[in-house]
C-alpha cells in the first residue's frame, strides 16, 4: 500500500452527525471497527513518515454514506483520498459515474474493502475503474450472489481492514486484535459476546459514531478494550438507553403479524399439493396416531387440510416469520432498532425470521434461528425490493415500495389499519421467491 500525504476520508455507512448536525441512523459494529483500524493505520503512518502526531481534520476525517445515496456528495473533500469499507456495492446506484465525477473534483477513491455478496457486473465496474486509474484497489471477500459460502470461510469488513493495515504491524496490539474478534462474531452472528452487544447498543442509542471510532483508536491493550465501557462512561449511556427502551418497547405488540409456512418434508420445494400432503403424512411425529381419523372425512380437501394441520402441530415442521411495524416515535423518544425489537419479542413469539418494517419504505430482516437453506435473505431482498437491495444471507434490508409489483396506491402509507394486508403481500412474495407453501398470515398481540 503506497502512502501519500493527501488527507484521508474514511467512510462510515449510515446517516450520521457531521459537525453536530443530523441524526444517527444505520451503521453497525463492523463499520465502526473497520474505520477504527483505518484510523489507527493513518495515525501510525503520519507518525512514521512525517514524524508528528496525526491531526483529525487535517490528516484524516470520517464521513458518512447512506445506502442508495451514492458517493457524489463526497466532492466536498477536494484534494482527499477516500477509503470505503463494509459497504455493499449494489447499494451504490451509479458507482462508475460517481467516481468519475469525484475525480474531476480532485477526490480519489483509493480502496473498497467489502464482504457482502457481489455480482459479475460489480466486478466488471471495479476492474474498469482500476484500468482507468480511478480506483487504486479493491478487496471483495464475500460470496458471489446466489452462491453458498461456508460459515468458516466468511469474514466481516473489520477482518479485511485488520489483515491489510494492522495485523503484525507496528500499529497492532492485543486490544485491537480482540476488537477485530468482537466485530467478527457479532457481524456474522457466531456468538453473543457481552461487550460486542454493549457496543452495539451504544450505536443503537444514537451515540456519535465518530466519537466511538476516535475513542476505540486509543486502545493499546486487551484491558483497555475490556474496560472501555466504564472508562468512557459509555456504560451509563447504555443503561439509560436500556431504561428508555423498557418504557416504549411494548409498543411493538400493537402491530405484530405472524407468517407461517410449511417446511417442505425432506427439504423439498416446488412440490405439487398432492405430493406435499403425501410427504407430510410421513413426518407427523407424535401426532401420526391421529392419522386414521382421515377415514371419517369423505371430502378430499378436508383430508388434506386435516393432514396439513397435523403436520403443523410439530413445531419443527413450520417456518415462522414474525413481522413488526416500527412504532411511531415522537421527538425525543428512543428509537427501537431491529436488535432491540428482536431481544424483546423473541421471548414472546416463536420465530425463525424477523422482518422489521418502517412503513413500506424500509424492511430490515434477520434470520434468528439455526434454520438454514430455505430463505437466503441477501437474495430475497432484491426480489421483494430493488436490485440495489441486499446484505447477508442472515441479515439484509430492502425498500419494498421500489419494487415494480408494489401497489403504491394500496400501500402508500402502511399503518395499523393496513399492516395485515401489507404482510400478506410480503408473505406472497416470500412464497413466490422460495417455493415455500404458505399456511396462514395472522395478526397477534393486542
Per residue in 83-107, pLDDT (tens digit) is: 999 988 888 889 999 999 999 999 9
Whether residue 200 is found in the same domain as residue 274: no
Is 239 inside a domain boundary?
A: no
Given 206, 232, 258, the domain boundary residue is: 232
SS3 131: helix
Q: At what angle do helices 209-216 and 194-204 cross, to 10 degrees?
A: 140
Confidence of residue 384 (pLDDT cuts 50, 70, 90): very high
Report which of residues 289 and 417 the model is more confident about: 417
pLDDT digits (tens, 9 = 90+) for 151-182: 888 999 999 999 999 999 999 999 999 999 99
Locate 307 and state its grid cell.
Answer: 393432514
Whether residue 59 is found in the same domain as residue 112: yes
Using CA of residue 214, residue 218, residue 219, residue 223, what is the dihedral sign? negative
Locate 162 and state its grid cell.
Answer: 485488520
Whether residue 36 is found in the same domain as residue 172: yes
Whether residue 259 is found in the same domain as residue 220: no
- For the cut 80, the answer to whether the pLDDT of residue 21 exceeds it is no
Is 400 inside a domain boundary?
A: yes
Q: State how far the Cα of 76 lies from the Cα of 413, in Å rounded to an integer.
A: 35
Contacts of 221 (CB under 8 A, 6+ apart): 173, 174, 175
Given 177, 203, 232, the domain boundary residue is: 232
Is 272 inside a domain boundary?
A: yes
> Cell 416469520, residue?
321
Structure confidence at residue 19 (pLDDT): 57
Whether residue 155 is found in the same domain as residue 284: no
Whether residue 200 is found in the same domain as residue 272: no
Using CA of residue 112, residue 388, residue 399, residue 250, what is the dihedral sign? negative
Average pLDDT across the chain, whole number: 88
> Cell 461487550, residue?
195
Confidence of residue 24 (pLDDT cuts 50, 70, 90): low
Query: Once rounded to an integer, what is the mean pLDDT over residues 304-316?
Result: 70
Whether residue 316 is found in the same domain as residue 283: yes
Is 240 inside a domain boundary?
A: no
Closest-CA residue to 24 (of 218, 202, 246): 202
Contacts of 411 (CB under 8 A, 6+ apart): 360, 401, 418, 421, 422, 425
Is 237 inside a domain boundary?
A: no
Given 174, 207, 232, the domain boundary residue is: 232
Whether residue 217 is found in the same domain as residue 302: no
Whether residue 284 is found in the same domain as residue 194: no
Whether residue 106 is found in the same domain as residue 212: yes
pLDDT digits (tens, 9 = 90+) for 185-202: 998 888 889 999 999 999
Is 60 inside a domain boundary?
A: yes
Structure confidence at residue 302 (pLDDT): 77
Residues 440/260, Cβ–Cβ less than 8 Å: yes
Strands 362-367 and 390-391: unpaired
SS3 243: helix
Query: Once rounded to an integer, what is the mean pLDDT over residues 361-377?
Result: 83
Whether residue 274 is found in the same domain as residue 206: no
Structure confidence at residue 389 (pLDDT): 84
Structure confidence at residue 146 (pLDDT): 76
Whether residue 202 is found in the same domain as residue 347: no
Task: Identify the domain containing residue 324 by its residue range.
Answer: 249-444
Residues 399/410, Cβ–Cβ less than 8 Å: no
Strands 256-262 and 438-444: antiparallel
Q: Where is 321: in which H helix or E strand?
A: strand 318-325
pLDDT digits (tens, 9 = 90+) for 44-70: 999 999 999 999 999 999 999 987 788
Closest-CA residue to 375 (of 326, 314, 431, 308): 431
Give the number of domains in the chain: 2
Chain center to CA of 83: 20
Q: Is the full-model pTM beyond 0.85?
A: no
Structure confidence at residue 173 (pLDDT): 97
Is 244 inside a domain boundary?
A: no
Residue 141: CB atoms within 10 Å: 18
- For the cut 60, the answer to whether the pLDDT of residue 16 exceeds it is no
Structure confidence at residue 88 (pLDDT): 86
Q: Where is 37: in which H helix or E strand?
A: helix 29-50
Is 241 inside a domain boundary?
A: no
Amino acid at each position: 500500500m503506497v502512502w501519500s500525504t493527501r488527507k484521508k476520508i474514511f467512510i462510515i455507512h449510515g446517516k450520521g452527525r457531521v459537525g453536530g448536525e443530523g441524526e444517527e441512523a444505520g451503521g453497525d459494529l463492523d463499520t465502526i471497527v473497520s474505520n477504527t483500524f483505518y484510523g489507527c493505520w493513518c495515525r501510525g503512518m503520519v507518525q512514521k513518515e512525517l514524524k508528528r502526531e496525526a491531526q483529525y481534520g487535517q490528516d484524516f476525517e470520517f464521513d458518512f454514506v447512506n445506502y442508495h445515496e451514492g458517493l457524489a456528495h463526497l466532492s466536498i473533500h477536494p484534494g482527499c483520498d477516500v477509503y470505503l469499507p463494509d459497504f455493499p456495492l449494489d447499494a451504490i446506484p451509479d458507482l462508475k459515474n460517481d467516481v468519475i465525477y469525484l475525480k474531476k473534483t480532485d477526490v480519489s477513491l483509493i480502496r473498497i474493502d467489502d464482504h457482502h455478496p457481489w455480482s459479475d457486473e460489480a466486478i466488471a465496474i471495479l476492474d474498469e475503474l482500476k484500468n482507468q486509474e480511478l480506483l487504486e484497489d479493491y478487496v471483495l471477500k464475500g460470496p458471489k450472489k446466489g452462491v453458498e459460502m461456508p460459515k468458516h470461510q466468511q469474514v466481516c469488513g473489520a477482518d479485511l481492514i485488520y489483515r491489510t493495515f494492522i495485523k503484525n504491524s507496528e500499529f497492532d496490539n492485543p486490544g485491537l486484535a480482540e476488537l477485530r474478534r468482537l466485530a467478527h462474531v457479532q457481524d456474522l452472528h457466531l456468538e453473543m459476546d457481552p461487550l460486542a452487544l454493549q457496543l452495539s447498543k451504544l450505536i443503537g442509542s444514537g451515540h456519535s459514531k465518530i466519537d466511538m471510532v476516535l475513542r476505540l483508536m486509543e486502545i493499546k491493550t486487551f484491558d483497555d478494550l475490556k474496560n472501555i465501557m466504564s472508562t468512557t462512561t459509555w456504560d451509563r449511556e447504555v443503561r439509560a438507553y436500556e431504561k428508555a427502551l423498557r418504557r416504549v418497547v411494548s409498543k411493538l405488540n400493537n402491530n405484530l403479524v405472524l407468517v407461517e409456512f410449511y417446511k417442505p418434508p425432506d427439504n423439498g420445494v416446488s412440490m405439487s399439493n398432492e405430493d406435499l400432503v403425501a410427504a407430510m403424512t410421513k413426518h407427523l411425529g407424535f401426532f401420526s396416531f391421529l392419522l386414521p381419523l382421515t377415514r371419517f372425512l369423505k371430502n378430499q380437501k378436508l383430508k388434506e387440510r386435516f393432514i396439513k394441520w397435523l403436520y403443523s402441530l410439530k413445531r419443527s415442521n413450520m417456518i415462522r416469520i414474525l413481522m413488526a411495524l416500527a412504532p411511531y416515535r415522537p421527538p425525543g423518544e428512543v428509537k427501537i432498532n431491529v436488535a432491540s425489537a428482536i431481544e424483546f419479542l423473541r421471548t414472546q413469539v416463536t420465530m425463525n425470521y424477523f422482518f422489521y418494517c418502517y412503513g413500506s419504505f424500509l424492511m430490515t430482516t434477520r434470520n434468528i434461528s439455526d434454520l438454514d437453506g430455505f430463505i437466503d435473505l441477501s437474495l430475497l431482498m432484491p426480489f421483494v425490493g430493488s436490485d440495489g437491495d441486499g446484505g447477508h444471507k442472515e441479515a439484509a434490508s430492502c425498500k419494498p415500495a421500489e419494487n415494480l409489483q408494489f401497489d403504491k396506491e394500496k400501500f402508500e402509507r402502511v399503518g395499523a389499519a393496513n399492516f395485515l394486508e401489507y404482510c400478506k403481500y410480503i408473505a406472497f412474495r416470500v412464497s413466490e421467491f422460495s417455493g415455500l407453501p404458505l399456511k396462514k398470515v395472522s395478526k397477534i398481540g393486542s
